[in-house]
């Protein structure tokens, strides 16, 4: 089923992209048609290099022109080329000419079409699949998706990474090439030009450098110009922004065509278009320059591998660009971030709080019984009002509240009244939980929401659970013992527990690799853990056994998290696909594909309708659980993202990455204004963000792995003591 | 991260990745592989590849004899690329494992990603050293794998079972303030203490205004103005002149224990001084306590107390978190006093004050080593002080032997160079003087003892230096000519020293370390390297305090101890108060003399007194009552015994 859908989808989108290219090319059409001589002279200059290469270049140009129905220039070009390579060229041009007659046909050129196809299949999620069939399926399924297993798996796209359709096909797009000796000249020419343009355009145009550099280098490598590639790299790698250093290192190690096969970074570059946002003025400048210089090599790369998002308005400044750049595939496209996000919270179910209890509490806590009541009222009224930004209550089906959940909610509300208001003058107390003797390596920690349990995942593939309250961890009695219990008695829930096994900590064995992600269910009955062995495991905290091993990721699963309402959970890992699961399905309900590198962290939005994933491709994506679409691509980090957090009201998100920065995002409103030069998506902290830093607390020798605010706003931290 | 070991790790599975020109797929068992790895040292230069010789060597090791140069080049490029690729993947695992150090398991996992069988047998070793050998005309790196005797493994006792993971909670911060508990790092790291004391303008604290320096005053006012302008500015915690109630209690306890009668308590207190990270606020008080204490007790000739105070100095110096430079002006005079004072005890003929002088001299040498810089020039100043006294006593026969002993001890602890330049030239004169005492008319017993001690000291220190500096042979007559009276004795000592040196030279592999000052270091010995997997022994957590952390009950700390809010500003121990103390001291001594108390008891009470006085001035409660006489604890241990203890 999935495969079929996939196929249809690919076709659909492929068409989309084709038309898109046609539109895109309009600038190019002018360029080529207005100066046909330039093309030919380029061809001439290349002719000594070798007829084979020459021919290929010509072919590519011809194809391009034909695709754009520029028969005139095709003719001119063919005439020009005919002078040098008449005999070889004619059959090709004939076949191409046949193609050019009608609508650009898929079969025009086998290799090219295939490469396009393969590219599309990867790039699909970038352009949200707007085909009716798919979205319809997405709409229909979720309502039933706990019952219907087959439709549940709305695979949005083929997975990325390892199972690339055919590497050779992908790579073949690099076969068109020019004289390797000229590459540095081209690049230098462009560099000189960009350095000489007006300051206001320079920053924008400088964005072109990095993707151009990468693609030129890859072309050189692909065409076996190893030495030229090396020289090219040495000459210009220093010019690139420092935050690309990591990628450059990978690139530089790649010096042979054989290396390109199976190199993920390379495929990322190849299969996804690098997205740049450039103002119309700057773009015109660039275009004119390339046109004047007849710099077809660069122009081709820009056409083939870059997606230039042109906007009207003031060119952006360097700092604006820097705030957004840094990701593996450029910035998010404008229309990728257009979808509406319902970031409001769901309405809290109305629970009658037993009043006498409250009063007792109030009496116990003398001094402020008066203050508390209005506060409570305000809270109540707030939850009654429907947030305009909130999704519909039934947008995705959520599990019904059980009695125990209601009790928990009541507890939660009670605790919330005791919450300490924090501020710069009122800093939280921090309680630090050190894991001692964790020689095997602590890799993940999670606290339950009520801070009664701590779970740690270890590199020796164990999961350990501690109780931090005096209540010990007890396991349910065995089946034989359970049958002896009087089921009618009032304290049956107590009786089923085995007192003999009570202890402060329990060890869960089952994984066969380091445990990288761990998450408690909100009702504290389950624990999720994800591991290097490619599985996510669900553990029962009643029996302390493994209930399910969810298999789907074939590679290490870096993170997993329960939905705030339970039942659903999300996992993401090395295979670049995030999967949404329900605990009672052994197959994923949704697969979110689109990241270009490992998914390093996953997080549910507080209203459970959205999922955020952070990745080593230095982007954060927000996915809609209902449709499976990517609704936001947030760029700006300069290193792999390693942690995410939503604000409790769901409006903001914070992300931390290895670039040492924490970015705060306010990107869920309609960010896309026309004048989006100002809207970077993330909140700009004042220059001196040190002023926002309220306190630094050093540990002795303990890396902090996890942080958690309790309901009363006490901050809990955890890490392994590392003497 | 050791790239070397990493690359080494990779070798065994590299052969399957080779695609040689001969189209030979090389499958190998793990053996010794050789390579020089210069790779990935510089992050920028990533085009570095393995040398082709490595390929040759590897090929040879698996029986491929003649590998062509081009094949080698192609191979090495391929191999280098694959290594880098795997290293990059392995880094991912390192990051997700929340570590900064690449381990062998990371590489195993990275291999697994690539569907390559992981490498077995490298799990346990933390560090895989590369050995360097040369043979056959080329240099080789190889991994040394010793043969393991099974019976050895069987017979060795099993290592201790590693402790299980446990959870321990502590307060990292209480309402924004980090409590100074052993679980937290020291509140003010040494660096900060240093910058605070060396660059007062940058971190001016209001407390420093009292020091009256104009510069500082200005700095403070500007800082205040700044503080007013920007209401949010966080003032640095006042650190110099205020102690919380807890700290005052601690100070009282510690000082009492340090000079009190209970040896166990003293040891505990000294241990606390030497290790506690949060002492810097009390440092000025400790240093005043010591300097005042020495001043009083030298007058009182209370050897025991002086010894205790010197031990405190040592403990302070041993504390790695304290920035002592600021207080050397108080500590050094105190120490020097203990070295060269004419009289340190009531009965110089019986008590072993020599030990105290030796101990203090070592302290002096240690502080010279640690604190001497080009700006403060401590070492040269100290040397000058000693030589001045020494010169004087050389000129003046009336100088006490005790002082002379102290000077020589102080100088000789400063190292062989000092001995050579300053003491050796004087040997003849000293010898003559010693001779005069021993052979001359019967003088006081004290002089005789003093001369004996000086003689043995000179022999002890000079012999080793001479043994090194002076060429063979050791001729008695020659020695007599050079060094006078001490010559013959020196000669025999030198011969002995030489013999000992020769003996040491025979034990080639053992590096001998002469530690003049036994430091209280806690060494964790690990056994069982070799094939058995060295890291199986549970290494005990090195911080002593954390051994108590092992409570299995994690639990939230039950109570929030309120942050120390109550501060009492203490008057500086300016001249007036110290003179006051001395006066009290004197009065106490008078009283005690009338009561005919033992000297140590008097000293004890005096110090108690002083402490109390300090506390009083600290707490601002005036008029010191003198209830101390009741509290005078009898000090049983005779001073000589304590001195012996120090020596031991």
Q: What tens digit of pLDDT does each residue of A673-692 get?
A: 333 333 444 444 444 455 66
Instruction: Answer yes or no: is pLDDT of B631 > 80.
Output: no
Please give the order of strands across the beta sheet that includes A630-635. Answer: A599-604, A610-615, A619-624, A630-635
* Percent helix, percent strand, percent coil in chain A, to nearest 5: 40, 20, 35
Q: Does B168 touch chain A (CB under 8 A)?
A: yes
User: Chain B residues with CB inside 8 Å of A471's CB?
Assistant: none
Res A691: pLDDT: 60
Contact A255 B47 (CB under 8 A): yes
Chain B, window 527-546: residues with a beta carbon less than 8 angstroms from a chain A beta carbon: 535, 538, 541-543, 546
CA distance B570 to B182: 26
Higher pLDDT residue, A138 or A551? Answer: A551
Q: How far is B557 from chain A (nearest CA, A)?
A: 8
**Interval A441-456 mean pLDDT:** 91
Q: How far is B581 from chain A (nearest CA, A)?
A: 40
Res B197: pLDDT: 62
Lowest mean pLDDT among B155-159, B240-244, B286-290, B372-376: B240-244
Higher pLDDT residue, A646 or B237? Answer: A646
Res A167: pLDDT: 53
Instruction: Answer yes or no: is pLDDT of B102 > 80.
Output: yes
The nearest alpha carbon in chain A to B179 belongs to A697
Mean pLDDT of chain B: 66
pLDDT one-digit tens code per residue, A313-365:
777 777 777 777 777 777 777 777 777 888 888 877 776 665 544 444 444 44
The nearest alpha carbon in chain A to B546 belongs to A436
Phi, psi of A455 (to 5 degrees): -120, 140
Written as six digits, the tokens of A9 are 């989808």
Q: Does pTM top 0.80 for this prediction?
A: no
Q: Which segments of A389-532 are extended strands (E)?
A: 430-436, 442-447, 453-458, 463-467, 473-476, 497-503, 505-508, 515-520, 526-531
Instruction: Answer yes or no: is pLDDT of B233 > 50.
Output: no
What string of DSSP letters covers A194-234? HHHS-HHHHHHHHTTHHHHHHHHHHHHHHTT-HHHHHHHHH
Q: How far is B102 from chain A (nearest CA, A)?
A: 12
**Interval A557-564 mean pLDDT:** 93
CA distance A655 to A645: 6
Res A549: pLDDT: 93
Res A58: pLDDT: 66
**Partner-chain residue, chosen from B46, B77, B171, that has the shortest CB–CB distance to A431:** B171
Helix/strand number for chain A, H first, E second: 23, 27
Res A76: pLDDT: 66
Written as six digits, the tokens of A636 are 């700006």
Give the closest residue to B559 by CA, choosing from B257, B169, B294: B169
Instruction: Answer yes or no: is pLDDT of B311 > 60.
Output: yes
Instruction: Answer yes or no: is pLDDT of B63 > 70.
Output: yes
User: Chain B residues with CB inside 8 Å of A721's CB?
Assistant: 168, 541, 546
Res A315: pLDDT: 79
CA distance A665 to A620: 10
CA distance A129 to B628: 90
**Interval A119-125 mean pLDDT:** 37
**Partner-chain residue, chosen from A431, A456, A555, that has the shortest CB–CB distance to B113:** A555
Bridge partners of A435, per DSSP, are A720, B167
pLDDT one-digit tens code per residue, B314-343:
888 888 888 888 788 888 888 888 888 877
Res A453: pLDDT: 92
Res A601: pLDDT: 93
Res A174: pLDDT: 62
Give the 3-state secondary structure of residue A474.
strand
Higher pLDDT residue, A454 or A15? Answer: A454
CA distance A121 to A687: 42
* B536 DSSP 8-state letter: G
Identify the top-confidence range among A2-11, A96-105, B490-499. Answer: B490-499
Give the closest residue to B80 by CA, choosing from B31, B47, B108: B47
3-state SS of B59-72 is HHHCCCCCCCHHHH
Contact A514 B97 (CB under 8 A): yes
**Partner-chain residue, chosen from A433, A469, A642, that has the shortest CB–CB distance to B167:** A433
Res A75: pLDDT: 67
Res A297: pLDDT: 75
**Interval B580-585 mean pLDDT:** 41
Res B31: pLDDT: 27
A672-678 own/partner pairs: CB under 8 Å, 24+ apart: A672/A334, A672/A337, A672/A338, A674/A311, A674/A312, A674/A313, A675/A313, A676/A311, A676/A334, A677/A279, A677/A311, A677/A313, A677/A314, A677/A315, A677/A316, A677/A320, A678/A320
Instruction: Answer yes or no: is pLDDT of B496 > 50.
Output: yes
Res A79: pLDDT: 65
Q: Does B233 touch chain A (CB under 8 A)?
A: no
Phi, psi of A305 (to 5 degrees): -115, -10
Largest CA distance in chain B: 106
Q: Does B88 touch chain A (CB under 8 A)?
A: yes
Instruction: Answer yes or no: is pLDDT of B142 > 50.
Output: yes
**Partner-chain residue, chosen from A255, A430, A464, that has the shortest CB–CB distance to B165:** A464
pLDDT one-digit tens code per residue, A159-214:
333 444 455 555 565 655 567 777 888 888 888 888 888 888 888 888 888 888 88
CA distance A561 to A571: 7
Q: How many percent of chain A have pLDDT more than 70?
A: 66
**Interval B541-564 mean pLDDT:** 37
**What are the residue ranges of helices labelled H in B121-175?**
150-155
Give the 3-state secondary structure of residue A578.
strand
User: Chain A residues with CB inside 8 Å of B535's CB?
Assistant: 439
**Partner-chain residue, chosen from A250, A429, A437, that has the shortest CB–CB distance to B173:** A429
Q: How far is B314 from chain A (nearest CA, A)?
A: 25
Lowest mean pLDDT among A61-70, A563-572, B84-93: A61-70
Give the closest residue to A562 by CA, choosing from A515, A614, A619, A522: A522
Q: Does B522 touch chain A (CB under 8 A)?
A: no
CA distance A537 to A548: 6
User: Chain A residues with CB inside 8 Å of B174's CB?
Assistant: 429
CB pairs < 8 Å spanning A and B: 163
Contact A571, A564 (CB under 8 A): no
Contact A723 B541 (CB under 8 A): yes
Cα of B473 vs its chain's centroid, Å: 40
Angle value at C-alpha B363, between B361 and B366, nearest 5 degrees? 110
Higher pLDDT residue, B163 or A69? Answer: B163
Q: How far apart are the first and last CA of chain B?
A: 43
Residue A75 CB coordination number (10 Å): 14
Contact B549 A705 (CB under 8 A): no
Contacts of A193 (CB under 8 A, 6+ apart): A289, A293
Instruction: Answer yes or no: is pLDDT of A466 > 90.
Output: yes
Identify the top-confidence range among A101-110, A360-369, B50-59. Answer: B50-59
Res B129: pLDDT: 65
pLDDT one-digit tens code per residue, A388-434:
777 887 888 888 888 888 888 888 888 888 888 887 788 889 999 99
Q: How far is B177 from chain A (nearest CA, A)?
A: 8
Res B140: pLDDT: 66
Res A417: pLDDT: 82
Instruction: Answer yes or no: is pLDDT of B153 > 90.
Output: no
User: Chain A residues with CB inside 8 Å of B162's CB?
Assistant: 437, 439
Torsion angle, CA of A169/A172/A173/A175, rounded to 10 degrees?
-170
pLDDT one-digit tens code per residue, A575-593:
889 999 999 998 999 999 9
User: Chain B residues with CB inside 8 Å of A616's CB?
Assistant: 92
Contact A230 B173 (CB under 8 A): no
What string of DSSP letters covers A339-357? S----SPPPPPP-PPPHHH
Cα-based distances in Å from B520 to B275, B317, B523: 10, 12, 9
Res A26: pLDDT: 39
Angle value at C-alpha A518, between A514 and A520, nearest 5 degrees? 155
Instruction: Answer yes or no: is pLDDT of A636 > 60.
Output: yes
Q: Which helix (H) or strand (E) holds B167?
A: strand B166-173
Contact A698 B543 (CB under 8 A): no
Cα-based distances in Å from A133 to A8, A57, A115, A154, A675: 9, 40, 25, 11, 34
CA distance A45 to A42: 5
Bridge partners of B51, per DSSP, are none
Res B523: pLDDT: 33
CA distance A54 to A40: 11
Q: How confident is the model at residue A31 (pLDDT cuts 50, 70, 90)?
A: very low
Angle value at C-alpha A237, between A233 and A242, nearest 5 degrees? 155
Res A106: pLDDT: 37
Contact B167 A705 (CB under 8 A): no
ipTM of the complex: 0.71
Identify the top-confidence range among A50-54, A580-584, B225-229, B351-355. Answer: A580-584
Res B434: pLDDT: 80
Q: Which helix (H) or strand (E) holds A590?
A: strand A590-593
Higher pLDDT residue, A458 or B43? Answer: A458
CA distance B276 to B279: 6
Contact B164 A437 (CB under 8 A): yes
Q: How many percent of chain B have pLDDT more than 90?
A: 0
Higher pLDDT residue, A613 or B438? Answer: A613
Res A414: pLDDT: 83
Helix/strand number for chain B, H first, E second: 25, 5
User: Chain A residues with CB inside 8 Å of B178's CB?
Assistant: 697-698
């Amino acid at each position: 089923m999935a495969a079929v859908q996939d196929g249809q989808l690919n076709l659909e989108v492929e068409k989309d992209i084709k038309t898109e290219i046609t539109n895109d090319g309009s600038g190019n059409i002018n360029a080529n048609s207005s100066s046909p001589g330039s093309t030919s002279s380029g061809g001439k200059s290349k002719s000594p290099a070798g007829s084979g290469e020459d021919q290929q270049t010509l072919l590519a140009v011809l194809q391009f022109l034909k695709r754009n129905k520029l028969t005139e220039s095709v003719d001119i070009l063919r005439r020009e080329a005919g002078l040098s390579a008449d005999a070889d060229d004619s059959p090709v041009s004939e076949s191409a000419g046949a193609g050019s007659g009608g609508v650009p046909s898929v079969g025009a050129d086998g290799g090219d079409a295939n490469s396009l196809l393969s590219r599309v299949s990867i790039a699909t999620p970038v352009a949200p699949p707007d085909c009716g069939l798919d979205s319809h399926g997405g709409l229909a399924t979720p309502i039933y998706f706990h019952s219907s297993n087959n439709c549940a798996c709305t695979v949005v796209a083929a997975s990325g990474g390892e199972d690339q359709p055919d590497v050779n096909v992908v790579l073949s797009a690099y076969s068109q090439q020019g004289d390797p000796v000229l590459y540095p000249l081209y690049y230098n020419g462009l560099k000189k030009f960009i350095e000489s343009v007006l300051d206001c355009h320079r920053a924008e145009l400088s964005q072109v450098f990095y993707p151009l550099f990468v693609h030129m280098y890859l072309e050189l490598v692909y065409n076996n110009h190893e030495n030229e590639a090396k020289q090219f790299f040495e000459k210009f790698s220093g010019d690139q922004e420092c935050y690309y250093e990591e990628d450059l290192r990978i690139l530089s190690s790649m010096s042979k065509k054989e290396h390109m096969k199976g190199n993920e970074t390379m495929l990322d570059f190849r299969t996804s278009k690098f997205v740049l946002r450039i103002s119309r003025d700057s773009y015109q400048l660039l275009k004119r320059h390339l046109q004047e210089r007849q710099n077809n090599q660069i122009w081709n790369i820009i056409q083939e591998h870059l997606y230039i998002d042109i906007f009207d308005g003031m060119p952006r400044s360097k700092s604006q660009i820097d705030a957004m750049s840094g990701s593996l595939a450029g910035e998010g496209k404008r229309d990728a971030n257009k979808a509406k996000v319902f970031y409001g919270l769901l309405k809290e179910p109305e629970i009658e709080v037993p009043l006498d209890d409250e009063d007792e509490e109030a009496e116990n806590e003398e001094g402020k019984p008066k203050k508390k009541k209005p506060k409570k009222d305000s809270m109540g009224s707030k939850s009654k009002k429907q947030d305009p930004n909130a999704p519909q209550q039934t947008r995705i089906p959520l599990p019904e509240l059980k009695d125990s959940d209601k009790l928990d909610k009541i507890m939660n509300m009670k605790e919330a009244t005791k919450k300490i208001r924090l501020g710069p003058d009122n800093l939280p107390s921090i309680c630090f939980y050190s894991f001692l003797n964790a020689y095997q390596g602590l890799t993940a920690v999670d606290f339950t929401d009520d801070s009664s349990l701590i779970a740690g995942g270890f590199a020796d593939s164990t999961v350990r659970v501690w109780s931090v309250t005096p209540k010990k961890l007890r396991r349910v009695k065995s089946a034989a013992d359970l049958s002896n219990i009087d089921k009618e008695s009032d304290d049956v829930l107590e009786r089923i527990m085995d007192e003999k096994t009570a202890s402060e900590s329990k060890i869960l064995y089952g994984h066969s690799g380091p445990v990288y992600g761990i998450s408690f269910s909100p009702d504290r009955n389950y624990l999720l853990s994800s591991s290097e062995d490619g599985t996510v495991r669900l553990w029962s905290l009643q029996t302390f056994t493994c209930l399910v091993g969810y298999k789907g990721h074939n590679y290490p699963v870096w993170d997993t998290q329960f939905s705030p309402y339970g039942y659903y959970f999300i996992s993401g890992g090395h295979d670049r696909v995030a999967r949404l699961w329900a605990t009672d399905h052994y197959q994923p309900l949704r697969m979110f594909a689109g990241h270009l590198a490992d998914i390093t962290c996953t997080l549910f939005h507080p209203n459970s309708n959205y999922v955020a994933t952070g990745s080593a491709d230095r982007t954060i994506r927000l996915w809609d659980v209902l449709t499976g679409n990517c609704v936001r691509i947030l760029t700006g980090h300069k290193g792999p993202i390693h942690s995410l957090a939503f604000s409790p009201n769901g409006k903001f998100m914070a992300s931390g990455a290895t670039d040492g920065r924490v970015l705060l995002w306010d990107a869920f409103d309609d960010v896309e204004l026309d004048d989006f030069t100002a809207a970077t998506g993330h909140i700009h902290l004042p220059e001196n963000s040190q002023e926002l830093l309220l306190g630094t607390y050093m540990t002795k020798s303990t890396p902090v792995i996890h942080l958690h605010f309790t309901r009363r706003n006490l901050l809990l931290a955890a890490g392994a003591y590392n003497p | 991260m050791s790239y070397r070991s990493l690359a080494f790790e990779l070798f065994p599975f590299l052969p399957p990745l080779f695609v040689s020109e001969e189209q030979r797929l090389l499958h190998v068992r793990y053996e010794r592989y050789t390579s020089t790895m210069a790779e990935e040292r510089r992050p920028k230069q990533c085009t570095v590849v393995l040398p082709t010789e490595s390929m040759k060597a590897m090929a040879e090791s698996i029986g491929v004899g003649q590998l062509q140069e081009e094949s080698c080049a192609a191979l090495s490029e391929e191999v280098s690329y694959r290594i880098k690729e795997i290293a990059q993947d392995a880094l991912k695992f390192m990051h997700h494992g929340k570590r900064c150090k690449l381990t062998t398991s990371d590489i195993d996992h990275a291999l697994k990603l690539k569907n390559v069988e992981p490498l077995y047998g490298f799990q346990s070793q933390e560090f895989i050293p590369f050995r360097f050998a040369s043979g056959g005309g080329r240099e080789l790196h190889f991994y040394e794998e010793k043969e393991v005797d099974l019976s050895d493994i069987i017979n060795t006792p099993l290592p201790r079972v590693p402790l299980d993971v446990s959870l321990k909670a502590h307060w990292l911060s209480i309402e924004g303030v980090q409590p100074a508990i052993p679980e937290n790092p020291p509140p003010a790291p040494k660096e900060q203490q240093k910058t605070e004391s060396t660059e007062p303008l940058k971190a001016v604290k209001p407390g420093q205004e009292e020091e009256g320096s104009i510069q500082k005053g200005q700095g403070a006012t500007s800082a205040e103005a700044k503080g007013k302008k920007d209401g949010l500015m966080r003032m640095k915690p006042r650190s110099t002149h205020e102690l919380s109630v807890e700290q005052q209690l601690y100070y009282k306890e510690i000082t009492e224990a340090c000079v009190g009668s209970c040896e166990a308590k003293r040891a505990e207190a000294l241990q606390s001084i030497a290790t506690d990270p949060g002492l810097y606020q009390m440092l000025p008080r400790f240093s005043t306590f010591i300097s005042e204490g020495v001043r009083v007790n030298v007058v009182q000739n209370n050897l025991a107390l002086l010894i205790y105070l010197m031990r405190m100095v040592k403990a302070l110096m041993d504390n790695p978190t304290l920035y002592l430079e600021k207080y050397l002006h108080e500590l050094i005079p105190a120490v020097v006093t203990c070295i060269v004072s004419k009289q340190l005890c009531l009965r110089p003929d019986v008590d072993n004050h020599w030990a105290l002088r030796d101990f203090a001299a070592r302290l002096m040498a240690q502080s010279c080593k640690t604190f001497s810089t080009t700006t403060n020039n401590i070492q040269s100043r100290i040397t000058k002080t000693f030589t001045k006294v020494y010169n004087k006593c050389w000129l003046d026969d009336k100088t006490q032997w005790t002082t002379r002993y102290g000077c020589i001890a102080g100088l000789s602890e400063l190292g062989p160079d000092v001995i050579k330049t300053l003491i050796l030239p004087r040997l003849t004169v000293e010898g003559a003087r010693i001779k005069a005492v021993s052979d001359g008319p019967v003088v006081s017993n004290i002089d005789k003892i003093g001369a004996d001690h000086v003689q043995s000291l000179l022999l002890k220190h000079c012999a080793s230096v001479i043994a090194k500096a002076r060429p063979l042979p050791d001729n008695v007559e020659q020695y007599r000519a050079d060094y006078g009276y001490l010559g013959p004795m020196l000669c025999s000592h030198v011969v002995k020293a030489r013999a000992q040196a020769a003996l040491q030279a025979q034990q080639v592999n053992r590096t001998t370390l002469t530690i003049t000052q036994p430091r209280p270091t806690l060494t964790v010995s690990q056994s069982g390297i070799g094939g058995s997997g060295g890291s199986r022994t549970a290494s005990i957590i090195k911080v002593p305090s954390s051994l108590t952390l092992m409570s299995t009950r994690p639990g939230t700390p039950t109570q929030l101890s309120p942050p120390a809010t109550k501060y009492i500003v203490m008057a500086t121990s300016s001249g007036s108060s110290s003179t006051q103390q001395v006066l009290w001291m004197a009065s106490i001594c008078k009283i005690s003399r009338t009561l005919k108390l033992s000297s140590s008891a008097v000293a004890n009470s005096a110090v108690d007194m002083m402490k109390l006085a300090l506390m009083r001035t600290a707490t601002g409660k005036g008029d010191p009552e003198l209830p101390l006489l009741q509290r005078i604890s009898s000090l049983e241990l005779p001073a000589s015994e304590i001195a012996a203890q120090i020596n031991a």
